[in-house]
Structure 1
Amino acid sequence: MSPKKSGTAKEAKPLSRIQEANRKAILDAALDVFAKSGFRGATIDEIAGKAGMSKPNLLYYFKSKRAIYQQVLEQTLSEWLTPFAELDPNGDPVEELRRYITAKLKMSESNPNASKLFANEVIHGAPVISDFLTTSLKALVDEKAKVIRKWVGEGKLAPIDPYHLIFTIWATTQHYADFDVQIRAVIGTQAGKPGFHEQAAQAVLSIILHGIKPR
């Protein structure tokens, strides 16, 4: 589930392998630039330079900076929402939520710029994805809230509000990407040591999962 496509310059025609590689290079470069400078501070020239191509070549694939920005956001949301959408209503609730939380933490570790980009978009009022948030995202969250509420009704989870549980998972898992500077300021070099993210994941899982187990 992702926002309505904004349209790339060659959307209707299948891309060659080289074109696909160039398009990926643009989106990877754009993610870094947008995460660092925001939408307003980023420039087409900077994105093109980081992607290793000329501005005219970049504009062959995307007609504007906004089109690139929206595509990066769409890609991020699609990756984030896939494990959430895959929560199995018939699965074991604790294990289903363990899998989802673990997936979100791994995403924050492997691609922190995507989380920072999304946070910046929302902080600025979500000008590009506001429609998506109030339609597609809301529908998915409502659907999964019903699943969590069913688990609570069956006595498989503690009596918790499903929406606040979802918000807690999002806030906690994305914190390790969005507030990396703050984490490093508080705990120092430990944050950069091997195994830190695994340790953080175990702590987060323990705190959240113990809180939702039936009492």
Structure 2
Amino acid sequence: MTQPKPQTRIQKKNTTAILDAALEVFSQHGYRGATLDQIARAADLSKPNLLYYFPSKEAIHVALLSGLMDTWLDPLRALDPDGKPVDEIIGYVHRKLQISRAYPRESRLFANEIIQGAPRIHEVLGGELKTLVDEKARVLQGWMDAGQIAPADPHHLIFSIWALTQHYADFDVQVRAILGPDTGRNFDGAQAYLDVLFNKLLAP
């Protein structure tokens, strides 16, 4: 099978510009509201030039989501079965909060895809994501059975961590409207609150 030619420096630059522009457009307007014209303008490229790199809006969206999934799964992969249970879970909370802090547009892109029924990543959700969550849920259940953390449904524990951390990216405008525009202070406050919440929740 013939391997594709490596991209030139200009091609890499344009591909990066397209993906960054698309991330901004998709995170603001969602998949349905975004257009190739908007993405081309944001990337400072002509539409025909954009189509040289990606044949369709869906191709751009899939490229973004594919890259995002690894970023999304890595914090859960890092949960160590041999670590101290409470420390491992609090560490996971911190990592998820940091993802929301560092990648708010990516978080909103992912949320929009889920709201639409995940047509472009449904197989990943039912495959790689489900496998990983089930694996870590068994780890959590083992800690609960051993009396190392308080009993709770392990899957819903993971869901609650997602909800409580991704909120600060997905509802950023609402958070800043209520707490003020200082994003750094808002995330620091969120981490302090979540530390108290999960330490109390997990105490055996």
Normalised by the size of structure 1, how large is the TM-score?
0.87
| Alignment correspondent of 1:135 | 127
Question: Residue 88 of structure 1 is aligned with which of 80, 84, 91?
Answer: 80
Q: RMSD of the TM alignment (CA)?
A: 1.7
Counterpart of 1:32 (choices 20, 24, 34) is 24
Cα distance in 1 for partners of 2:26, 2:177 equals 24
Task: Tell me by how many angstroms 1:193 deviates.
Answer: 6.1
**1:5 aligns to what?**
none
| Residue-pair matches, total | 202
Structure 2 stretches lacking a partner, 5+ long = none
DSSP 3-state at the match of 2:63: helix
> Where does structure 1 lack aligned partners over 5 or more consecutive residues?
1-10
TM-aligned CA distance change 1:81 to 1:55, over 3 Å: same
Residue of structure 1 in register with 2:196 after alignment? 206
Per-residue CA deviations over 1:113-143 (Å, capped at 9, x if unaligned) read 1111111111111111112111221111111
1:184 counterpart = 2:167: no
Corresponding position: 1:173 with 2:165: yes
- In structure 2, relative to structure 1, the CA distance for the partners of 1:12 and 1:147 (3 Å cut) is farther
| Structure 1 position 57, deviation (Å) | 2.1
Counterpart for residue 58 of structure 1: 50
Q: Could you tell me how far apart the structure 1 residues matched to 2:20 and 2:53 are?
A: 14
Percent identical among aligned pairs is: 50
| Cα distance between partner residues in 2 of 1:184 and 1:86 | 30
Residue 186 of structure 2 corresponds to: 196
1:59-81 CA distance string (max 9 Å, x none): 22212110101111122221011
Aligned counterparts of 1:131 and 1:99: Cα–Cα separation in 2: 28
Q: For residue 110 of structure 2, what is the aligned residue in structure 1?
A: 118
Q: Name the amino acid aligned to 1:66.
A: E
TM-score between the two structures when normalised by the length of structure 2: 0.91
The amino acid across from 2:33 in the alignment is G
